[in-house]
Amino acid sequence: MQIDGKPWRTIWRDQAGGVGIIDQTCLPHSFETLTLASLQDAAVAIRTMQVRGAPLIGAAAAYGLALGLDEDPTDIGLERAHRALAETRPTAINLRWALGRVVDSVCALLPEARAERAFAEADAIAEEDVAINAALGRFGAELIKEIASKKPGRTVNILTHCNAGWLATVDWGTATAPIYQAFQAGIPLHVWVDETRPRNQGAFLTAWELNHAGVPHTVIADNAGGHLMQHGQVDLAIVGTDRTTRTGDVCNKIGTYLKALAAHDCGVPFYVALPSSTIDWTLTDGRAIPIEERAGTEVSHISGRTADGRIVEVQLTPNGSGVANPGFDVTPARLITGLITERGIAPASAEGLAALFPERARTR
Ligand code: MRU
């Protein structure tokens, strides 16, 4: 992604041996970067959502483990770093997948060789994420082109939920990769951006990155999607996922299920874009996915920027009202038109995923 004429990724190795990130808690009001210099920094960044989005959480955790091994490369240090990072967020499977990859790459090595090998594995995870998202973007862009060819001269309207964008990955995004590639190919398109209460990742992050990429878009209240679908104003929906079962159930940001229900009722194609690292091959039922319960203050309060540039937080709910804040929900496979992966578009089913990933489907 170009930001002010300069190419950026969302995570990188810096000159001083640390790991650079964009502090996403400051967006869209200010663009700030920071350096993760320790295991503790990495764990805090994931927990407080300075980095977020399933693939980026995976890459950040991999770098976090490398930083931890730099501090203590012993078996005890490895175990401690793994535990600290695994506990940061429960839903996105990429976190555990990336930690597992780094552990496997270092556990047989002598302690003094571990940190360097772990950094190399984290680099590989980050590079692969870029290539995978570019590949799934090509398959998704073909889909958008096909829809565009059926309505010549008219704009393709795409609805997305949360931020499954550039900011949620190392580059390209998942749900946004097809959008960016179709846009770059000259397909006239427009994106409906669900604001995605309570943390507003759509309004804050997706809108910010689409703005930078010059992609036409409109931010809508979460409740507007069904109405727009009923009135023929959505040609397709594309969302991301934090964990997808081997049977094609999709866990994603809270509210995704309601959009899928509305899309099903209105005959709007509903696609999920995902790198295969987001598939949990051990699960056959989405109801088994652990759902993160987040702080109630995300619901009871809201923050924003005043006209004179101050960031303020205000309370929405009366004192004394209870609040609940499940961060994710599960959309059953039957509501999903297709899964856009790096190997092609699969039906959301055990057979569909097994046909694309036979070597993984054989394992449990
Ligand atoms: O809580 P977040 O902001 O980490 O949740 C992000 C999402 O739900 C994304 O849709 C998902 O991680 C897919 S990212 C490509």
pLDDT, one tens digit per residue, over 328-354 is 999 999 999 999 999 999 999 999 999
Say what the ipTM of the complex is.
Answer: 0.98
| 200 appears as a binding residue in the annotation | no
Give residue 362's pLDDT: 84
Decide: 272 and 244 in contact? Cβ < 8 Å. yes
CATH top class, domain 140-362: alpha beta
pLDDT, one tens digit per residue, over 3-49 is 989 999 999 999 899 999 999 999 999 999 999 999 999 999 999 99
Percentage with pLDDT > 70 across the chain = 100
For 300, counting Cβ atoms within 10 Å of its Cβ (0-12 exposed, 13-18 middle, 19+ buried), the class is middle
Residue 306 has pLDDT above 90, yes or no: yes
Domain boundaries, given as residue ranges, for the chain = 2-128, 140-362
Which one from 242, 249, 280, 329 is the annotated catalytic residue?
242
Counting atoms of ligand 1 from 1, which one is nearest the CA of 328? 8
| 114 appears as a binding residue in the annotation | no
Instruction: Specify the DSSP element, H or E, that contains 243.
Output: strand 243-245
Give residue 34's pLDDT: 97
Query: Cβ of 183: how many Cβ atoms within 10 Å?
Result: 22
Q: What is the mean pLDDT of the chain?
A: 97
Residue 273 has pLDDT above 80, yes or no: yes
CATH number of the 2-128 domain = 1.20.120.420
Residue 163 has pLDDT above 90, yes or no: yes
pLDDT, one tens digit per residue, over 180-239 is 999 999 999 999 999 999 999 999 999 999 999 999 999 999 999 999 999 999 999 999
Smallest CA separation from ligand 1 atom 8, residue: 253
Q: Quick check: is 70 catalytic?
A: no
Cα distance between residue 272 and residue 175, in whole Å: 7
Cβ < 6 A, ligand 1 pocket: 52-55, 92, 162, 164, 168-169, 174, 201, 240-242, 252-253, 327
Residue 364 pLDDT level (bands cut at 50, 70, 90): low
Give residue 363's pLDDT: 75
